[in-house]
Structure 1
Amino acid sequence: MSLTEHLPAPAGPARTGHGRLPRLLAAATVAPLIRWIVAADSVPGGTQRRTACDECGTSIGLAGPLRALSPLARCGTCRHRIGAPPATVELALLVSVGVLVVAARPVSETVAFAWWALCVLPLFFVDLAVHRLPDRLTYPAAFGTWGLLGLAALLGGTETAGGGTAWLRSLLAGLAVAFVFAASTVLLGRRGFGLGDAKLALSSAAVLGWFGWELVFFGLMVSFVAAALTSVALLLAGRVRWSGHLPFGPFLILGSLVTLALA
């Protein structure tokens, strides 16, 4: 049986592609904001958020030169690289918009998934850079996604993905996966998942749980396989050692996006 066979077919208008241009324009609008969040939070734990260029001290906020928040990702004064690599945030946003278009869900659900994507995209780049997932992003991702999916259940009833049943399953999926990740941290220490991964799972697993437990397991499988293949490739290339630590957050986000597109 297909993983998505149990799902109802989306309504006809959702597949027409109407509204893609506004989504693309919205993505272009929020890209500088995401770049600013990534630059500010890509610092070691316990330190203050970055507010200026590390080389020359020029502000990287909205009050500073906009070049730092553009796809060029360079300081407007000294040209030092700021935050995520050039064009990567913009590419990630385009991919996320494409996933939402391909998923073709009702508007209320799409809003919930868009909120989740906007919260986790900065986490993707921050975790890659400094191996941490700040609470200021993981908690809004979780509570915002739960709340918006609850609203989608109220507005769509049983025509969405099970109505209230889907929302309860979504909530339980997030809590269950987060509990497993947190337990591995307690039992295995550095060999297990981090607490940040557990907090990220609150929202990522909830998105998948909206469609069914099968997609929760499928999304986790995609995440684990992607992480394993990347680890092997980096080991063979000599980029990491067996004792090295690979952040799992980006793979959890990637696996959730892939599964959302299939759903």
Structure 2
Amino acid sequence: MYVTTIILAVLWGAAAGLLVPRAAYRLSVAPEEPWRDRCPAEHVLAGPARGWLGGPGRQDCATTGSPHTAPLLTALACAVLAAATGGPRPELAVWLFVAPFAVLLASVDARVHRLPDVLTLSLAVAVPLLLGVAELLPYDAGSWRHAVLGALVLGGAYLVLHRISPGELGLGDVKLALPLGAALGWYGWDILFFGAFAGFLLGAVYGLGLVLLRRADRSSAIPFGPFMLAGGLLGLLLGAFTALP
């Protein structure tokens, strides 16, 4: 069952990751601009009712970046989450559901330094609700109450940091902190603090590296969403692993 769960998680991640490049291209616009509805080759990406995901794609409709990166990253994230969880626990379904959206958010933020509300706010509602369902099922390894409190605590902490230094942390980061706090809080306060700290540490190391390579200075803005998500992944892996019987 353990190996089967990992294989299914990889297949799910690869399949869901195939949808990420088109969606990332559609959403990678400035806040005042509408979502893209055509690719660089002028092929129609979506009709009026197809939302941010868009309609069926064309193989020759090129978007920025390699089309294989997102499926590989999503499959890898799903694989390590399934491996750390140790089997088909109900919260694993939540992590696997969220993984493609996390890769999508990281892709958009890396391109245009923006975390779209359509994703962050949807996840802020979906993650606590799904974890609430997970707690009702057998073999769960977390606490829904801690998840809700974790969302409030991490979201509140990021809001305070945004108020102190809005140039360093945007409102998109604050909104992303809500589902991230819920996911990390599911495993307890120590995992919440670890995941949040890991995100800041990864972002600081990346920024310092850019400065040392003279590709940026101390005033340069970097997209923080990918590091928040990477730290969150590390926290979930630690929480899932330590929760094993």
Give the TM-score band, short-chain normalised: 0.7 to 0.9
1:81-100 deviations in Å (ceiling 9; x for gaps): x1444422022112211222
Are 1:59 and 1:65, in contact at CA under 8 Å, matched by a contact in 2?
no
Are 2:10 and 2:79, in contact at CA under 8 Å, matched by a contact in 1?
no
* Residue 47 (str. 1) matches residue 33 (str. 2): yes
| 2:59 paired residue number | 66
Q: Give the CA deviation at 1:250.
A: 0.4
Aligned-residue CA RMSD in angstroms?
1.8
Q: In the aligned structure 1, how far is the partner of 2:9 from the partner of 2:82? A: 9
Q: Give the CA deviation at 1:65.
A: 1.8
Q: In the aligned structure 1, how far is the partner of 2:78 from the partner of 2:102? A: 14
Pairing partner for 1:116 from 88, 98, 103: 98
Q: In the aligned structure 2, how far is the partner of 1:168 from the partner of 1:109? A: 14
| 1:91 paired residue number | 72
Could you say if the C-alpha distance between residues 218 and 212 of structure 1 is closer, same or farther in structure 2, counting changes exceeding 3 Å? same
Could you say if the C-alpha distance between residues 169 and 127 of structure 1 is closer, same or farther in structure 2, counting changes exceeding 3 Å? same
**Bigger Cα Rg:** 1
Counterparts of residues 188-227 of structure 1 (less than 5 Å) = 188-191=165-168, 193-227=169-203
| 2:119 paired residue number | 137
- What are structure 1's unaligned runs of at least 5 residues? 1-12, 69-74, 76-81
Number of corresponding residues: 230
1:164-205 deviations in Å (ceiling 9; x for gaps): xx11111111111111111222232213x2111111111112
Q: In the aligned structure 1, how far is the partner of 2:102 from the partner of 2:222? A: 18
- What are structure 2's unaligned runs of at least 5 residues? 46-53, 240-245
Are 1:106 and 1:160, in contact at CA under 8 Å, matched by a contact in 2?
no
Q: In the aligned structure 2, how far is the partner of 1:174 from the partner of 1:232? A: 29
| 2:130 paired residue number | 148
Identity of aligned residues (%): 32
| 1:245 paired residue number | 221
| 1:72 paired residue number | none
| 1:6 paired residue number | none
* Residue 177 (str. 1) matches residue 154 (str. 2): yes
- Please identify runs of 4+ aligned residues in structure 1 that moved more than 6 A: none
| Higher RCO by CA contacts (8 Å cutoff, separation 6 or greater) | 2
Q: In the aligned structure 1, how far is the partner of 2:197 from the partner of 2:159? A: 18
| 2:14 paired residue number | 28
**Secondary structure at the residue paired with 1:112?**
helix
| 2:5 paired residue number | 19
* Residue 126 (str. 1) matches residue 108 (str. 2): yes
Are 1:220 and 1:255, in contact at CA under 8 Å, matched by a contact in 2?
yes
| 1:78 paired residue number | none
